Amino acid sequence: MLCRFPYSSILCGIRFASNFIISSQALQLISKPSKSMTSGYKAWLINDYTWNDTDVITNIMALKLYSYWRSSCSWRVRVCLALKKQEYEYIPIHLVKDGGEQRKESFRNVNPMAQVPTFVHGDVIISQSMAIMDYIDNKFEGYSLLPKDLALRAKVKEICEIICSGIQPIQNLSVLQKIGEANKMEWAHHWIQSGFDSLEKVLQKSSGKYCVGDDITMADACLVPQVYNANRFKVDMSKYPNISRIEKSLAEQPAFIKAHPDNQPDCPQK
């Protein structure tokens, strides 16, 4: 599923291409297989397909995700891109090394807010995971990330926000750095528990196999990374049977396997 920026694969793609029209961008890609054109960072292509026509290459060139393997906000977006079966260029930004690669000028030129995820689709550059997921859902055909029924859609968005504004921001890396090493475990533990107490009640009513009914939605893309964080901070998950049950079902889904931190190119070797 995951291939290192593939000089040989691109050549392989060219070999199989029928009516191959190469763009200057694609030429640049081929001539610098281990560098992203825009950032100077190493990049990888995430795809499910063989390289056998120009469309695939053009499409991949157009979609870029600046991500960090363990960033829960990046993870949400990776799930949605996988559900939509969209290939993209994965550009890792290490949030800790050298004081955080996100602070480097080369990345600030892409996103002056210096945050991942940053999603690039042609000329459109979007920050903030909820905004990116909304864009992906509206822009690309295929699997729908939100129900059509407005009441159900509101429930999905409510669950997203319980996590994305009610829990994660209060226990994210920059807040924990300010809280300090001595207190960060208690702090993160407290806010995740408090949020999960509410979320569990909501899911008691809304969930079927997944967060809202039996279809995977944007809410599920938010849930899984938050459970991963809960485990990192030793939250007792036995208190949350619905959250645990749904997370277990989702973990087996191909899109969630693909988006998992362990399967990202910048995940340190175990």
Q: Which is nearest to 44 in space by CA: 100, 94, 91?
A: 91
Binder among 18, 31, 138, 238 for a copy of itself (CB under 8 A) = 138
- Return the SS3 of 270: coil
Binding mask 75-114 for a copy of itself (x = CB under 8 A): -------------------------------------xxx
How many of the other CB atoms lie within 10 Å of CB of 112? 10
> CB-side exposure of 18: number of CA atoms within 13 Å?
2
User: Chain centroid to CA 210: how far?
Assistant: 19
Tokens of 62: 């157009």
Is residue 7 close enough to count as binding a copy of itself by CB under 8 A? no
Is residue 178 close enough to count as binding a copy of itself by CB under 8 A? yes
Q: Are 233 and 185 in contact (CB under 8 A)?
A: yes
Could you tell me the smallest distance in angstroms from the CB atom of residue 112 to a copy of itself? 4
Binding mask 187-226 for a copy of itself (x = CB under 8 A): ---x---x---x--xx------------------------
DSSP state of 94: -
Footprint of a copy of itself on this chain (CB under 8 A)?
112-115, 123-124, 126-132, 134-135, 138-139, 150-151, 153-155, 157-158, 160-162, 164-166, 168-170, 174-175, 178, 190, 194, 198, 201-202
